[in-house]
Structure 1
């Protein structure tokens, strides 16, 4: 199908209904930029959206085919819709490889992209809000100020990626891997489930109201980090720098701290600066921390 022809027909039907691009986008729960791309012929709705679009614009699905004359009509009943076979019966997901591509401020909001590969390119200020990026990889990417709010990042991998000022609000992080990335990002209302964070400088990263479940911090720089009031279940801090880190008011259950190897007592001295005041922890976590004999646990609650 010619995307420009389809875009022209969407434009004509939208105007016939007296709708703006923003008004149509609001009814479809998508961004106005997505509607604009359809109408310019730069992209095309998926089959589910075609059905919703047809009903909203009072046209049948045949209206969008290349040979159908422009104009509006009545929405076809389910029994009358076999003629729409010219549209794809189902949407096939293909892996897209985007290497050394400049996609600054690109709009991927609400998009579905499984096993995509973003490599050695720029995603500065790109918008992935609400996108399904399951299984995708981001390698050596400039993703400063990118928006990953509510994005599905299950089985995704971020490697040597600059995420300065990127936002992850209510994002889905399951079996996600972060390696040498995350600097300056903000994670808000996120549940980290079976996540691996390895050799990552997180000093400028902000975690707000997060839950860490079965998550590993391996050789990370967490100096000065504030995890106050957050929840840690089955978490390992493996040889991570924690000087001046704070877990005030946090909940810790089955949490392990393995100090970095040092021929001197530096790592033990650094761990003495970690604050657990007001934290609640289970007996095993408390016993393990007490065994290190390097931090003040006088103000914790053991349950």
Structure 2
């Protein structure tokens, strides 16, 4: 996403409302300096703040896209027939049985594509920027290497989809479904996954950076090489899950549960230094019935975690 473009749009909308940077900062609970950095293109607001900005500035997420066409403006002519972007699917590669697989023809950016049917499509290295994709169906889709930035993707269905090497940043994915989704080197950055569901999924070398995971649901998942960096995990249940080489660094861990979970080579580290606040948060984490290796056990014991009902393996 073009940070300078986003910044200029924040400035434009703010000035239309005759609002100062300091006044806008108060509305979204940040410093005026943070607003200044956004407007100069030096940084981006996270997805929660971006959603707040749309309400305060009286715009929608599409306003922040580089491609501001509406769904009606996104009508193209193919063989003389008018079709919308959601309909522009062409035949791609041929599989062993001679059946042609569908492949997306174009990028989907700045469009109203809510409740669109993308099930089973092949869309490698495509760009979905600043679009409304809420309740869209991506089940079984091959989306390897695609980028989703600044989208409204609430209640999207990614069941069985291949999200290898995909980047999903500054997007609202709350209540989305990831049942048996392929998640390899997938990156969720500054996005919202509140109440999203991950069932029977293996997350391999996945990064969840500054992501809202409050009330996210995980069931029968394996986490291998996953990095939860600066993410909000408060109240998340990881009961019965398996963690291999996972990092829980700099995140909010209050009331997280690992009941009956398996943890091997798992690292917990606070922001900067071990503060009293971090110690208090660790004491609220439950590891009842969990199994962990000696190194993970020693690291958690050193920061005051309650390991009285843990089994070492």
Aligned residue pair count: 231
Cα distance in 2 for partners of 1:47, 1:138 equals 23
Cα distance in 2 for partners of 1:249, 1:49 equals 43
2:127 equivalent in structure 1: 117
Does 126-135 or 183-192 show the bigger shift?
183-192
Cα distance in 2 for partners of 1:95, 1:44 equals 6
Unmatched segments (≥5 aa) in structure 1 = 6-36, 54-89
SS of residue matched to 2:228: strand
2:118 equivalent in structure 1: 108
Contact kept, 8 Å, 1:95 with 1:114, in 2: the verdict is: no
Matches within 5 A, 1:140-155: 140-155=150-165
Task: Report the structure number with the largest CA radius of gyration.
Answer: 1
SS of residue matched to 1:249: coil
Contact kept, 8 Å, 1:155 with 1:174, in 2: the verdict is: yes
1:289 equivalent in structure 2: 300
Structure 2 residue 245 is matched with structure 1 residue 234? yes
Task: State the Cα distance separating 1:256 from its structure 2 match.
Answer: 0.4
Task: State the Cα distance separating 1:183 from its structure 2 match.
Answer: 2.4
SS of residue matched to 2:108: strand
Query: Given the two structures, how large is their TM-score scaled by the length of structure 1?
Result: 0.70
CA 1:259 to 1:135, structure 2 compared with 1: closer, same or farther past 3 Å? same
2:236 equivalent in structure 1: 225
SS of residue matched to 2:94: helix
CA 1:49 to 1:282, structure 2 compared with 1: closer, same or farther past 3 Å? closer
Matches within 5 A, 1:128-139: 128-139=138-149
Query: Given the two structures, how large is their TM-score scaled by the length of structure 2?
Result: 0.68
CA 1:247 to 1:52, structure 2 compared with 1: closer, same or farther past 3 Å? same
1:48 equivalent in structure 2: 94
Cα distance in 1 for partners of 2:93, 2:166 equals 26
CA 1:289 to 1:49, structure 2 compared with 1: closer, same or farther past 3 Å? closer
CA 1:133 to 1:47, structure 2 compared with 1: closer, same or farther past 3 Å? closer
Determine which of 157, 169, 178 is the counterpart of 1:168: 178
Task: State the Cα distance separating 1:47 from its structure 2 match.
Answer: 5.8
Matches within 5 A, 1:1-303: 43-46=89-92, 48=94, 96-181=106-191, 182-261=193-272, 264-292=275-303, 294-303=304-313
Task: State the Cα distance separating 1:154 from its structure 2 match.
Answer: 0.2
Cα distance in 2 for partners of 1:298, 1:284 equals 16
Task: State the Cα distance separating 1:99 from its structure 2 match.
Answer: 1.6
